[in-house]
């Protein structure tokens, strides 16, 4: 069987409503993307507890609807537009989606990934290229972090270059849990991961179980309670956060406050051109510098001096 995708570019105000209307009009599935993805106008969506985005859409959105190949795409779009009160049906393009063995095709796109000196991220359908290496069995899923993105690799390479046997590690914005698992397999003691997405927490817990790593994963509110119970100071020897520059800047007081005296803070998800402004946001708490750069992305690193007192901890 073959399908046809209908692609519509539309303003944020109508993106969600149009998506729902397209489903009602006969689309098989609908997704919303950032039409400016990959450009300087790209707008990452993020949210902290209590500040989640009101809409899963962008200022300039792209709505992609999957339909049967024999469906009347023009009629579906017209019906959807009329149902939400648009004066006219929006312009759209179509593209063919050929029938494939989707499982085999997807698996073929994810081969083992070699990271740093001795780390391999291996999907479950592959054999480990080097069984003596540090092996992470990890399948692509709903949560970010498979080792394919430069920011994830940068953080993994930092952890490999700075092993901390027995030390405590916090992975904030943990996604799939990959960074926490690297730290644990390198000998870290207490390791915790935090993410605002319940699906990410579920995925991280499953991945940790599969990789035989004892790691505690939390939503932010649960972590605030657990950190006080399990850590006298609520701080960690190593704090790593691979998110994006905007939320990292907002979280500067909180993340800095989670670093123990003499401990290290590692940040990524930061473009090279954003490094100075991110470092400036953390300057009142900890001095950060660029540790390494890959493909235009950087990892920032700093050590909290014993005479430095963080201003706030928050969650």
Q: Give yes or no: residues 194 and 73 share one domain.
A: no
Task: Give me the pLDDT at residue 162, please.
Answer: 94
Is 106 part of any domain?
A: no
Is 243 part of any domain?
A: yes
Three-state helix/strand/coil letters over the chain:
CCEEEEEEEEEHHHHHHHHHHHHHHCCCEEEEEECCCCCCCCCCCCCCCCCCCCCCCCCEEEEEEEEECCCCHHHHHHHHHHHCCCCCCCCCEEEEECCCCHHHHHHHCCCCEEECCCEEEECCCCCCCCCCCEEEECCCCCCCCCCCCHHHHHHHHHHHHCCCCCCCEEEECCCCCHHHHHHHHCCCCCEEEECCCHHHHHHHHHHHHHCCCCCEEECHHHHHHHHHHHCCCCCEEEEEEECCHHHHHHCHHHHHHCEEEEEEEEEEEEEHHHHHHHHHHHCCCCCCEEEEEECCEEEEEEECCCCCCCCCCCC
Q: Residue 236 sits in a domain of what CATH number?
A: 3.40.50.150
Digit-coded pLDDT (tens) for 123-141 = 877 787 788 889 888 876 5
pLDDT category of residue 156 using cuts at 50, 70 and 90? very high
Is 66 part of any domain?
A: yes
Q: Give yes or no: residues 299 and 196 share one domain.
A: yes
Stated pTM of the model = 0.65
**Average pLDDT in the chain:** 84
Greater confidence, 232 or 94? 94
> Among 74, 99, 124, which residue terminates a domain?
99
Does residue 291 surpass a pLDDT of 50? yes
Q: Give yes or no: residues 151 and 88 share one domain.
A: no
Q: Give yes or no: residues 60 and 154 share one domain.
A: no
What would the mean pLDDT of 278-295 be, rounded to a whole number? Answer: 94
Task: Give me the pLDDT at residue 2, please.
Answer: 73
Does residue 293 surpass a pLDDT of 50? yes
Is 117 part of any domain?
A: no
Task: Give me the pLDDT at residue 311, please.
Answer: 38
Q: Residue 43 sits in a domain of what CATH number?
A: 3.30.70
Greater confidence, 308 or 259? 259
Range of the domain at 257: 145-303
Digit-coded pLDDT (tens) for 25-50 = 999 989 888 876 666 655 554 444 44
Q: Give yes or no: residues 149 and 82 share one domain.
A: no
Is 126 part of any domain?
A: no
Does residue 314 surpass a pLDDT of 50? no
């Amino acid at each position: 069987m073959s399908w046809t995708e209908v692609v519509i570019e539309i303003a944020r105000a109508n993106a969600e409503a149009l998506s729902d209307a397209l489903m009602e009009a006969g689309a098989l599935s609908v997704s919303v993307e950032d039409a400016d993805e990959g450009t300087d106008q790209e707008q990452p969506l993020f949210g902290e507890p209590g500040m989640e985005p009101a809409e899963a859409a962008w200022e300039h959105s792209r709505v992609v609807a999957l339909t049967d190949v024999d469906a009347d795409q023009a009629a579906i779009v017209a019906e959807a537009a009329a149902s939400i009160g648009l004066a006219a049906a929006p312009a759209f393009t179509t593209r063919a989606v050929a029938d494939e063995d989707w499982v085999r095709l997807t698996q073929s796109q994810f081969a083992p990934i070699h990271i740093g000196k001795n780390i391999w991220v291996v999907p479950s359908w592959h054999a480990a290229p080097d069984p003596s290496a540090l092996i992470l069995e990890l399948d692509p899923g709903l949560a970010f972090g498979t080792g394919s993105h430069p920011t994830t690799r940068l953080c993994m390479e930092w952890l490999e270059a700075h092993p901390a046997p027995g030390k405590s590690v916090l992975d904030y914005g943990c996604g799939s849990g990959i960074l926490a698992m690297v730290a644990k397999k390198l000998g870290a003691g207490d390791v915790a991961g935090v993410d605002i997405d319940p699906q990410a927490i579920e995925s991280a817990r499953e991945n940790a179980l599969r990789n035989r790593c004892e790691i505690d994963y939390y939503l932010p509110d649960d972590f605030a309670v657990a950190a006080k119970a399990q850590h006298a100071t609520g701080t960690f020897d190593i704090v790593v956060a691979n998110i994006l520059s905007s939320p990292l800047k907002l979280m500067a007081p909180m993340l800095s406050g989670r670093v123990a005296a003499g401990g290290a803070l590692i940040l990524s998800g930061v473009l090279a051109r954003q490094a100075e402004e991110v470092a400036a946001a953390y300057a009142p708490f900890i001095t950060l510098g660029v540790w390494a750069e890959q493909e235009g992305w950087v990892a920032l690193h700093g050590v909290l001096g014993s005479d430095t007192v963080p201003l706030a901890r928050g969650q």
